[in-house]
Amino acid sequence: MTVTRFAPSPTGWLHIGNLRTALFNYLIARKSGGQFILRLDDTDRERSKEEFIDGIKADLEWLGLHWDRVERQSERLERYAEMAAKLRAAGRFYECFETPAELELKRKKQLNMGRPPVYDRAALKLDEAARERLRAEGRQGYWRFQLEHERIEWTDGILGELSIDAASVSDPVLIRADGQVLYTFASSVDDMDMGITDVVRGNDHVTNTATQIQIIRAMGGEPPAFAHHSLLTGAQGEALSKRLGTLSLRDLRAQGVAREALLSLLARLGSSQPVALRVSLDEIAEGFDLAQFGSAPTKFDAADLWPLTRAHIQSLPYQAAAERLAGLGVPADTAPAFWEAVRENIDRLDDLAGWWALCRDGAEPLIAPEDEGFVAEALLLLPPPPYGPQSWAEWTAAVKAATGRKGKALFMPLRKALTGRENGPDMAALMPLMQRIRALEPR
């Protein structure tokens, strides 16, 4: 059975880049009737917050990306200790004592000599007496995994055949001096224990994958199939990392972006398939194919979410908006007609409020100086509200007969006088909803 996981670190709110990773893993599981696990990478006790965990869950629920179960790394520390003991016994873990400053100096020297800054394994040469002396100096040991120097190869679900020379990678630190288990290790143990079959994540993890393949094998497991998607950039190709904070899912949601728009865009962006509005996850899953995605950075423009949101809203039946309309105070007998009249003129559901205010309170008339005489004459022919479905046709016919104006020159100044705007819903549908016409009131 296919088992995938989305493994956020709960150190912040989910952003658009996280959504891409979550969605890909979700869709793979859904397509094959498998399982999707929400795994919280929360071994960093200081930066992980319950608040963010709640936020991650709320975002995924809103999107409809339901998980089969939740796993928390902070609850699996004993298991990591057990596996660390196993790797120590197998001679794959070794204790190191260099300080960050010492490591930085080594790096600089290597770079100056034109060599890649790979950890030189000096600590491997320490004997027990030397280690004791370092401990007596007050240094605390931390643990690295000794990579086997071979080519690590895998067939990546997006990038194809990959091969990384393990000698070009530093032996990863897996356990810190304070005992904290680091992600690279915890994730390997989890992927093995939880029977994860497929991992999709950003291509910033490619080197991690190479080391995790060796770690999992060293523990006696079989690595999952890996795929690395490209990272999102801004519309101009600029790095998005600094702006990701402003592209949090909760902010986009608060701005009125529809979940269907987010899912439809992110499930296809960066692939050879066209983006189109798809309203159900089944529909989205159906055409989803990892092999259609490319390795080039993927441009993301938040503006692209609006046409999709608009298309979605315009397709909604009245029932989908009924609650929102009731909340605005639109009377139940008027609400269906109001929805029909305005839904093609809104970008987001929040825009309903403005149109309802216009119907209820009227609008400040917008009258061009050259139309003043014409509009004054037309208003003399307009009775006060309430209006019916024929009112607009009857009024404009009367105005046409009286003034001789026709077409846009007739209709546009009247629309502007009544609504204060140049565009909006069909006037014949809007007029019966208008309870007040300020242009008719004494100034």
Complex with ligand GLU: residue 8 or 362, whichever CB lies closer:
8
How many residues in the shown chain lie near ligand GLU by CB under 6 A? Answer: 8
First vs last Cα of the chain: how many Å apart? 74
| Residue 8 sits in the site that holds ligand GLU (CB under 6 A) | yes
Asked if residues 290 and 158 have their Cβ atoms less than 8 Å apart, the reply is: yes
| Residue 181 sits in the site that holds ligand GLU (CB under 6 A) | no
Determine the interface stretch with ligand GLU among 7-15, 354-362, 424-432, 435-443 (rule: CB under 6 A).
7-15
H or E element in which residue 36 lies: strand 35-40
Least distance in angstroms from the C-beta of 21 to ligand GLU: 7
Question: What is the rounded CA–CA span in Å between residue 203 and residue 157?
Answer: 12
Secondary-structure breakdown of the chain: helix, strand, coil percentages, each rounded to the nearest 5? 50, 15, 35
Match 């242009």 to its residue by tokens.
Answer: 439
| Residue 41 sits in the site that holds ligand GLU (CB under 6 A) | yes
Complex with ligand GLU: residue 8 or 413, whichever CB lies closer:
8
Determine the interface stretch with ligand GLU among 2-10, 85-93, 139-147, 411-419 (rule: CB under 6 A).
2-10
Which of 2, 9, 32, 295 forms a contact with ligand GLU (CB under 6 A)?
A: 9
Q: Which residues of 107-133 are buried (b: 16+ CB within 10 A; e: fewer)?
A: beeeeeeeeeebbbeebeebeeeebee
Complex with ligand GLU: residue 39 or 310, whichever CB lies closer:
39
Q: What are phi and psi of 232, to 5 degrees?
A: -80, 140
Which of 4, 35, 48, 187 forms a contact with ligand GLU (CB under 6 A)?
A: 187
Least distance in angstroms from the C-beta of 67 to ligand GLU: 14
| Residue 207 sits in the site that holds ligand GLU (CB under 6 A) | no
| Residue 310 sits in the site that holds ligand GLU (CB under 6 A) | no
Question: What is the rounded CA–CA span in Å between residue 21 and residue 8?
Answer: 9
Question: What is the rounded CA–CA span in Å between residue 280 and residue 64?
Answer: 9
- Using CB under 6 A as the binding rule, the residues of this chain from 242 to 301 that contact ligand GLU are none
Interface positions with ligand GLU (CB under 6 A): 7-9, 41, 183, 187, 201, 205
